[in-house]
């Protein structure tokens, strides 16, 4: 709920089914949703970043405005491939994400991910 993982440019890409789901949730057409809230990068559709550097759907008071339909990548956090497969990234994530127990070892983190 803190939003640390919602900060930063790019990286939150959407699977085709997710685009439709979010557009429906926002009561928009697919095209309205993509032109208003997404950008195309590296052949993928990604969520836009707002002027404050956070994801365009992050609200400091309400947190994620599309929580029920947020992208799978967001639901995975902090168990995303870049962290599970890289101990240095995991150390950085541990400092940033209050959801990770600071006493947890990398091996235990990976074990929980596999479970």
Dist CA 85 CA 105 (whole Å): 14
Binding residues for ligand SF4, rule: CB under 6 A, are 1-6, 12, 47, 55, 57-58, 64, 66, 70-71, 74, 77-78, 97-99
Which residue number, 3 or 81, has a Cβ lying nearer to ligand SF4? 3
| Minimum separation from the CB atom of position 27 to ligand SF4 (A) | 17
* CB 87, min distance to ligand SF4, A: 18
* Partners of 54 in the β-ladder: 7
Question: What's the min distance (Å) between Cβ of 7 and ligand SF4?
Answer: 8
* CB contact burial 22-55 (16+ within 10 A = b; e otherwise): bbeebeeeeeebbeebbeeeeeebbbebeeeebb
């Amino acid at each position: 709920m803190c939003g640390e993982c919602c900060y930063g440019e790019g990286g939150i890409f959407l699977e085709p089914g997710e685009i439709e789901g979010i557009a429906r949730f926002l009561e928009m057409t697919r095209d309205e949703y993509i032109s208003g809230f997404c950008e195309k990068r590296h052949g993928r559709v990604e969520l836009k970043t707002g002027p404050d550097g956070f994801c365009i759907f992050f609200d400091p008071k309400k947190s994620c405005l599309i929580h029920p339909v947020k992208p799978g990548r967001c639901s995975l956090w902090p168990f995303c491939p870049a962290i599970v497969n890289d101990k240095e990234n995991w150390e950085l994530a541990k400092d940033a994400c209050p959801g990770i127990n600071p006493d947890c070892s990398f091996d235990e983190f990976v074990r929980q991910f596999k479970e």
